[in-house]
Amino acid sequence: MPVPPLSKSLFKLGLTCPIKLKHALAKPVLPRQADGNEYMQQLALGGYMFEKLVKVYYPGEDMFIPKESHTDASARTLAKIKAGDCTLHEATFAAGSLMARSDIVRVTGDTLDLIEIKSASAEAESKLQADPKELLKKSWEPYVVDLAYQVHVARQALQAAGITKTIRAWFYLPNKLGVASPEEVRGLFTLTENGPGGRPTVEYRGHAKPGDETSLIAILEATEAVAQAYPSEESIAEASARLSGYVASGNWPAVEVGMKCKDCEFNVPGQTSGYDLCWGSQARVEHHLFTLGYLGSMEYRNPGTVRRIVEQTAPRAPRITDLQDEDVAGDAPLQRCWKRQIMAVRTGRPFISPELVRDAATLMRCKPENYPLFFLDYEGTRCALPSAAGCRPYGQVAFQWSCHVVDNPGASPRHVEWLDTENDNPNLGFLESLRKLLGEQGTIYHWADYEVVVTQELADEIRGDDSKAELVSWVDRNWGTKAKIKKDIVKSERCLDLLEISRGHFYDPAMMGSHSIKKVLPVVWKNPAIQKLFPKFAVDQHGQPVKNPYDALPALTLQDAKDSALDLSKLDELDVVKNGPGAMRAYEHIRYGLAASDQAARKSMRRQLMRYCELDTAAMVMVWRHWLG
């Protein structure tokens, strides 16, 4: 069996853990979680659009041929470079067992510029050039290592072919200080999944061309940063030789389980995954050590804690109750959180704080003078390319809110919602509709700070516009502002984070270390009074009782039964809108995807978005009523 080449993606995977590299090459293929979380996948879609725009401004010959061997692709690349000055897109370099594909290769005389287009952003105040010293920061290391590997393989390939070039390395990135022209907005791009090589195919319908002025692209020279790249305290050459040696020989290092395994992409519950092969009998158990909330903080404070517990409990799986008193010693919020979780698991009983039992109405600011009560949830998206001219990369696009309102003590909650899928920039309408709903009186409930951060950000976008001064003033009064020095969130007294109430005053063993509302809600749903309050979420589409109201959301495709037929084979990725990333993807398809021109699909997705967001705010009402008793 031929030895597979060490590609750039395999190299990066092996750096995090060589056994992951082994799992990635296993035959038959081992199950694997989606690459990155769903939110990052959504950002990546904008990244493909940005990459297309960069290549519009910097055109070149597309060198990618599906299913071509890496050696043949490299030979074609080297032949082009030998022939003289050129600009190549998707050029491949191969050297021995190593291979890498580069976004743009530009040859000018004796210089070869290797350009990586990333959706990670930078800030460039003058022209397009950003400060390259930014790349020496720790946060940029994964990107620099990626580019350093490309440079290493390219250098080896050039030397083997007898080509002498000075290699310079560059990043082309979205410039967060730039603004989009009318020819640079998302509506001019069409993205189709599963193009050649498994990458999306992006079509650009605008009129931007090489030489046009743009402020959207920040250019950082990375030559110095690449030269200093030493991942895991070894050079790129040493790391690539080590990892390719494992692949070629089949002799892998011993498995070392520990904290790094917690979020391993090969950890797929319900299937025999790479994680199970590494952990064996210690892989799975209820209340596994990995379910401890903020376990990473414990490991950071006392390195080796996870490894110690794993060794002490072998061959059985480690549980959170195996932690010792000294592991959770202290009275800071974090230590109290750990102690509550461990105690709840040991006793099988939930923790409810004395304050919540004694006077929940005061704790949650729902005395008669605090009404009306607004349970509020937003849906929004960010993208590397702005949605409207004059907007910045990764600017917030707030397209939906849902609110359950309790007007006075004893009143039944009523639902109000707002959704804009028609306008390029819905932000102003979003704020104006909120002001009309919320006014100046009442308590604004939210779960985590997302709603506060988004509202303040939207106000900052129009701050300085005299015609919007009254609206900005309303936000400042009722939502608070960002601190000028530390950029911390300063919330209005009207705002109350129910997540903080949960963290400080409530815990049930079934929450498995998480205070996400999707973990708290099933616990609350066991209360018959709560089920009676929201009967529409009590059964699934088959009429069967549900243990979690989110299971009552129909497994909706991009059409309802009463809608006209639609080719769903093109829209598999949007089967269900049951979470925030799903809502973002639905919005993107309504605005810019295949559903943009299909009215039946647009109607279907709007209904899905409304049902999902309605349940998010209904969930807050359920939790609030449960805590009130």
Q: What is the pTM of this model?
A: 0.87
Helix (H) or strand (E) holding 92: strand 86-95
Domain final residue, candidates 497, 521, 550: 497
Helix (H) or strand (E) holding 203: strand 201-204
- Closest by CA position to 307, among listed 287, 327, 332: 327
CA distance 10 to 3: 13
Rounded (to 5) percent helix, strand, coil in the chain = 45, 15, 35
Assess if residue 255 is contained within a domain. no
Assess if residue 93 is contained within a domain. yes
The sign of the torsion formed by the CA atoms of 389, 390, 392, 395 equals negative
Please tell me whether residues 512 and 451 are part of one structural domain. no
CA distance 503 to 335: 12
Please tell me whether residues 299 and 331 are part of one structural domain. yes
As for how many domains the chain has, the answer is: 4
SS3 at position 297: helix
- Closest by CA position to 28, among listed 273, 276, 194: 273
Q: How far is CA 475 from CA 454, 472, 489, 543, in A?
A: 11, 5, 13, 43
Query: What does the block give as tokens for 293?
Result: 């909330």
Q: Which H, E and C letters describe 22-55, residue by residue?
A: HHHHCCCCCCCCCCCCHHHHHHHHHHHHHHHHHH
Torsion angle, alpha carbons of 557, 559, 560, 561, to 10: -100
In this structure, which amino acid lies at residue 481? T
Up-side HSE of residue 327: CA atoms within 13 Å toward CB?
Answer: 24
Please tell me whether residues 54 and 148 are part of one structural domain. yes
57 is in which domain, residue-wise? 8-249
Domain final residue, candidates 223, 249, 275: 249
- N-terminal to C-terminal alpha carbon distance within the chain: 65
Query: What does the block give as tokens for 517?
Result: 């509302």
Asked if 189 and 49 count as a contact pair (C-beta separation under 8 A), the reply is: yes
Assess if residue 276 is contained within a domain. no
Please tell me whether residues 83 and 228 are part of one structural domain. yes
The vertex-61 CA angle with 57 and 65, nearest 5°, equals: 125
In the block, tokens 């519009």 appear at: 56
Please tell me whether residues 529 and 513 are part of one structural domain. yes
Asked if 387 and 591 count as a contact pair (C-beta separation under 8 A), the reply is: yes
Amino acid 41: pLDDT: 61
Amino acid 581: pLDDT: 64
Q: What is the mean pLDDT of each run of 10 residues along the chain (629 residues)?
A: 88 96 94 64 74 96 94 98 97 96 98 94 64 79 94 97 97 92 90 71 93 92 91 90 95 94 92 94 96 94 94 96 94 94 96 96 96 95 88 90 96 94 89 97 95 94 94 95 64 93 96 94 94 87 85 54 32 39 70 65 74 89 95
Amino acid 154: pLDDT: 98
E strand spans, 217-291: 217-221
Please tell me whether residues 160 and 232 are part of one structural domain. yes
Q: How far is CA 438 from CA 235, 427, 471, in A?
A: 57, 16, 12
Please list the residues that pair with 191 across neighbouring strands: 202
- Closest by CA position to 404, among listed 371, 376, 381, 441: 376
Burial class of 240 by CB neighbour count within 10 A (0 to 12, 13 to 18, 19+): buried
Assess if residue 259 is contained within a domain. no
Amino acid 1: pLDDT: 61
Domain final residue, candidates 445, 471, 497: 497
Please tell me whether residues 24 and 155 are part of one structural domain. yes
Please tell me whether residues 493 and 503 are part of one structural domain. no
CA distance 596 to 234: 49
Please tell me whether residues 130 and 177 are part of one structural domain. yes
The vertex-572 CA angle with 541 and 537, nearest 5°, equals: 20
SS3 at position 15: helix
- Closest by CA position to 149, among listed 214, 275, 237: 237
Query: What does the block give as tokens for 249?
Result: 């020989």
SS3 at position 97: coil
Asked if 575 and 555 count as a contact pair (C-beta separation under 8 A), the reply is: yes
Query: What does the block give as tokens for 48?
Result: 């493909």
Please tell me whether residues 194 and 332 are part of one structural domain. no
Assess if residue 204 is contained within a domain. yes
Assess if residue 267 is contained within a domain. no
Q: Which residues of 427-455 are buried (b: 16+ CB within 10 A; e: fewer)?
A: bbebbebbeebbeeebbbbbbeebbbbbb
CA distance 279 to 292: 18
Please tell me whether residues 556 and 454 are part of one structural domain. no
Q: Which residues lie closer than 8 Å to 479 by C-beta, 6 or more apart?
A: 444, 452, 455, 456, 459, 491, 492, 494, 495
Assess if residue 368 is contained within a domain. yes
Helix (H) or strand (E) holding 533: helix 528-533
Query: What does the block give as tokens for 521?
Result: 């809600």
- Closest by CA position to 551, among listed 600, 451, 619: 619
SS3 at position 572: helix
Q: Which H, E and C letters describe 443-464, residue by residue?
A: EEEECCCHHHHHHHHHHHHHCC
Query: What does the block give as tokens for 546?
Result: 């549900």
Query: What does the block give as tokens for 468?
Result: 């919007």
Asked if 522 and 510 count as a contact pair (C-beta separation under 8 A), the reply is: yes
Please tell me whether residues 515 and 593 are part of one structural domain. yes
